[in-house]
Amino acid sequence: MDPKHIEELRQTYMQHPPEGMTTKDIRSMSDDDLLDMDYFLHEEDDLDDEIGEEGFYLF
Q: Kindly report whether the global pTM for this prediction surpasses the value 0.85.
A: no
| Confidence at residue 18, expressed as pLDDT on a 0 to 100 scale | 93
d(CA 5, CA 50): 27
pLDDT single digits (tens) 1-51: 799 999 999 999 999 999 999 999 999 999 999 999 999 998 877 665 555
Is residue 34 within 8 A of residue 13, CB to CB? The reply is yes
| Exposed / middle / buried, residue 14 (Cβ in 10 Å: 0-12, 13-18, 19+) | middle
